[in-house]
Amino acid sequence: MAEDILSIYRRWLKFSPIDEDLVARQKETVLIIAQAGRTGETALEIAKSAVILADQLVSLFESAQSLPKPIVCRAGCYFCCFTQVELTPPEALLLGHYVEDHFSPEEKQGLRERVAKNLKLKAGKNKIEVASMRQELPCPLLREGRCSVYPARPLLCRAMHSLAAEQCELELRSQKLTSFEFYSHRYEFILSVSAGLMAGCQAMGCQAKVLDLAGAIQAFFTSASPAESWVQGENVFG
What does the alpha-carbon distance between residue 49 and residue 176 come to, in Å, rounded to a whole number?
36
Is the confidence at residue 4, as pLDDT, over 90?
Answer: no
Domains contained in the chain, number? 1
Residues 8-31 have a mean pLDDT of 78
Residue 1 domain-assigned?
no
Q: What is the pLDDT of residue 171?
A: 82
Q: Do the domain assignments include residue 2?
A: no
How far does Cα 102 stand from its chain's mean position? 19
- Say if residue 200's pLDDT is above 90: yes
Quote the CA–CA distance of 120 and 123 in Å, as a whole number.
5
- pTM for the whole thing? 0.90
Residue 32 has pLDDT above 90, yes or no: yes
Q: Is 56 within a domain?
A: yes
- How much of the chain, in percent, has pLDDT values that exceed 90? 71
Which helix (H) or strand (E) segment holds residue 143: the answer is strand 142-143
Provide CB contacts within 8 A for 123, sequence distance 6+: none
Banded pLDDT at 8 (limits 50, 70, 90): very low
Instruction: List, for residues 17-27, the tens digit of each pLDDT value.
Output: 789 999 999 99
151 occurs within a structural domain: yes
Per-residue pLDDT, averaged over 174-185, amounts to 77
172 within some domain: yes
First to last CA, the chain: 19
In a domain, 7, yes or no: no
User: Are residues 90 and 43 in contact, defined by beta-carbon separation less than 8 angstroms?
Assistant: yes
Range 152-167 average pLDDT: 92
Q: Is 74 helix (H, G, I), strand (E, B) or coil?
A: coil
In a domain? residue 236: no
Q: How far apart are CA 35 and CA 38, in angstroms?
A: 8
78, part of any domain:
yes
Residue 167: the pLDDT is 85
For residue 92, the enclosing domain spans: 19-125+136-231
